[in-house]
Amino acid sequence: MSADWSHHLESLLPLSDSIAQLLEVCERLANTLANQRSSQTRVELNSILTPEERREPPAVERFRRYVGKHAPELLAAWATFEQHLPPLLRQMAADREVRQYVRASALARAAWLAFVGSDDRIRDFAQLLAVLDDAEILLIDPRERLGWHLQVAGIDRIRDLHLAWQWKAGTDQAKPESLTPQFWLWHPRVLQRWPELPPGLAGSDDWLWEHRSAATLPRIDSRFVALIGPPPFLPVWETSTRHPGLLPILQQITPLPSTNIDSWIKFFTYRITA
């Protein structure tokens, strides 16, 4: 834990209170609006909260005006939230334990995110909540019959997993500005369509693209899983992260015994993973 954790906690506590208030009022507002029988109210609500309009910057301001009319007490909580959110985002990016604290508190409830999806800071907040910390990942190479059990932290996008594999964060080794992947990732369901990992672009429907959130990796129970093999081509990826201060870390790597690898391959061949 960072040395100034007490400062982190002190700054988070008032934010926790304001977010709890924000969530409570937002949920009450959502429930009230959902139960409205007035067709005019439903039309007005839909004109504000449709997914298409939430992508437009003015949508947030329209939402606030609507809330000011129907739940004015929410606006004070929202103002407090906006005041504390920027420093919270910086702390969440820089400190894994801050992210864990936030996830474990009322801050992690996300019912209100749908209302303000076009706000960049809300998007950043949701992305940081989804960062893989102390997460287990199984990587299976069906061609070479090899496999590894990884424990990782600070993994935002799938690209960060490649970076953690190749770069040791926290050492004297400088972080590279770019990288070429040493392996490629496939969804395990590819083995239900092909007898082995397909060459070239043939299996691109089952690629796990580097720009996607690592939280979208397939998972079985509490573990994320993926198949690995030689890259079908050699791209060059930038290693900059979406959130300054966030470091992808490979905490532990353990080779899997061959019997476990055979069992996993058989499982992937006959079972559909999420």
pLDDT digits (tens, 9 = 90+) for 3-57: 444 455 566 666 666 666 666 665 665 555 555 544 444 445 445 445 554 455 5
Structural domain ending residue among the three candidates 129, 145, 174:
129
- Residue 169's pLDDT is 72
In a shared domain, residues 240 and 188: yes
In a shared domain, residues 144 and 97: no
Q: For residues 254 and 146, give the distance between their C-alpha atoms in angstroms, rounded to a whole number.
A: 11
Render pLDDT for 146-184 as a digit per residue (tens, 0 to 9).
999 999 999 999 999 999 999 987 677 888 999 999 999
* Across 73-77, 123-127, 202-206, least confident range: 73-77
Higher pLDDT, 185 or 24: 185
Is residue 118 pLDDT above 60, yes or no? no
In a shared domain, residues 191 and 82: no
In a shared domain, residues 266 and 152: yes
Is residue 89 pLDDT above 70, yes or no? yes
Residue 206's SS3 state is helix
- Residue 30's pLDDT is 55
Q: Which residues pair with 255 in a beta bridge?
A: 148
In a shared domain, residues 186 and 227: yes
Structural domain ending residue among the three candidates 70, 94, 129:
129
Query: What is the number of other CB atoms lying within 10 angstroms of the CB of residue 227?
Result: 29
In a shared domain, residues 213 and 92: no
Count up the domains in the chain and report the number.
Answer: 2
In a shared domain, residues 175 and 232: yes
Q: Please list, in sequence order, all residues whose beta carbon lies within 8 angstroms of the beta carbon of residue 19, skipping any fewer than 6 positions away.
A: 77, 81, 106, 107
CA torsion sign, 41 to 47 to 48 to 54? positive
In a shared domain, residues 40 and 15: yes
Contact 23, 106 (CB under 8 A): yes
pTM of this structure: 0.78
Cα angle 16, 93, 123 (rounded to 5 degrees) comes to 70
Q: For residues 85 and 137, give the distance between their C-alpha atoms in angstroms, rounded to a whole number.
A: 31
Which structural domain range is residue 47 located in?
A: 5-129
In a shared domain, residues 50 and 85: yes
In a shared domain, residues 47 and 148: no
144: left (phi over 0), alpha (psi -120 to 50) or beta: alpha
Task: For tokens 């437009």, name the residue.
Answer: 56
